[in-house]
Amino acid sequence: MSQLTPLIAGNWKMNGNKSLISEFTQVFNSQAIDGIDVLICPPSVYIESLSQQVINNNSVINVGAQNVSEQMSGAFTGEISVDMLNEVNATFVIVGHSERRAIFGETPELVAEKYKMALDNNITPILCSGETDQEREDDKTFDVIATDIDAVVNLTGIESFKNGVIAYEPVWAIGTGKSATPEQAQAVHHFIRSHLAKYDAEVAQGVRILYGGSVNEKNAAELFKQNDINGALVGGASLVSDKFMTICQNAQSSL
């Protein structure tokens, strides 16, 4: 892990409840961990509760959302706007998670619009990108990732990665228990940084690149030893406070 502050982000997906939020904010109190950024992205109905519990328990947890609309407001049933996220004190948002791309048909262009909408409204976007099994077999991993990054660059410029985060999440590793090896992940993270450097070397050096896909309390330490891995986006293991804490402590020890 390089000198960038590690970010350990939990993506609860459609899981969790208010009591889990209380547990996390108590476990991650102000003494719990320092030197890294900890983030939880619960289902959107719980964001306000998380924000409130963070204050009540003097917790170090940052609050994020799993998705945001590319529209400001209006007749978009079921969607959530950046103003709403700001009002409940969400400071991060995941955009383009592979489940959103695969199940909800989000395209690289739409994800880029969401990325821009978040950034323009002072919410840090976490751009997810990764290849399927088939794409890896067809040697298309780098193409898939370059397409997702270029969609953002084309819409809003390379500078937009100064205040954003990227998460490499191979689809074949998500929820499967089969994480990428540290070497496999590092190779893709290195590609991402080199690709950004073609536009702007300084921006490329400054962007945090998280790895996601079956990260757990056993494999995290090895992943964090890699040069271009600046943290993790954690699904399943982010629902269990002691596992998530161990992952955070591993990130802290890697500093």
**Applying CB under 6 A, which part among 28-36, 141-149, 213-221, 243-251 lies near ligand PGA?**
213-221
For every residue of 222-235, DSSP letters joined together read: HHHTSTT--EEEES
Pairing of β 231-234 and β 124-129: unpaired
Instruction: Indicate which single residue of 6, 11, 226, 250 sits in contact with ligand PGA (rule: CB under 6 A).
Output: 11
The distance of closest approach from Cβ of residue 128 to ligand PGA in the complex, given in angstroms and rounded to an integer, is 7
Instruction: Indicate which single residue of 90, 213, 243, 250 sits in contact with ligand PGA (rule: CB under 6 A).
Output: 213
For every residue of the chain, DSSP letters joined together read: --SSPPEEEEE--S---HHHHHHHHHHTBTTT--SSEEEEE--GGGHHHHHHHHHHTTB-EEEEES---SSSSSS-TT---HHHHHHTT--EEEES-HHHHHHH---HHHHHHHHHHHHHTT-EEEEEE---HHHHHTT-HHHHHHHHHHHHHHHH-GGGGGS-EEEE--GGGTTTS-PPPHHHHHHHHHHHHHHHHHH-HHHHHH-EEEEESS--TTTHHHHHTSTT--EEEESGGGGSHHHHHHHHHHHHHT-
Choose between 25 and 214: whose C-beta lies nearer to ligand PGA: 214
Choose between 46 and 211: whose C-beta lies nearer to ligand PGA: 211
The distance of closest approach from Cβ of residue 77 to ligand PGA in the complex, given in angstroms and rounded to an integer, is 25
Q: Is 131 among the residues known to form the active site? A: no
The distance of closest approach from Cβ of residue 13 to ligand PGA in the complex, given in angstroms and rounded to an integer, is 7
- Give the contact letters, 133-172, x = binds to ligand PGA (CB under 6 A), - = no: ------------------------------------x---
Choose between 158 and 215: whose C-beta lies nearer to ligand PGA: 215
Q: Is 169 among the residues known to form the active site? A: yes
Q: Does 16 bind ligand PGA (CB under 6 A)?
A: no
**Applying CB under 6 A, which part among 38-46, 74-82, 116-124, 210-218 lies near ligand PGA?**
210-218
Instruction: Indicate which single residue of 215, 220, 223, 248 sits in contact with ligand PGA (rule: CB under 6 A).
Output: 215
Residues that bind ligand PGA in the complex, under the rule CB under 6 A: 11, 169, 174-175, 212-215, 233-236
Active-site residues, by number, are 97, 169
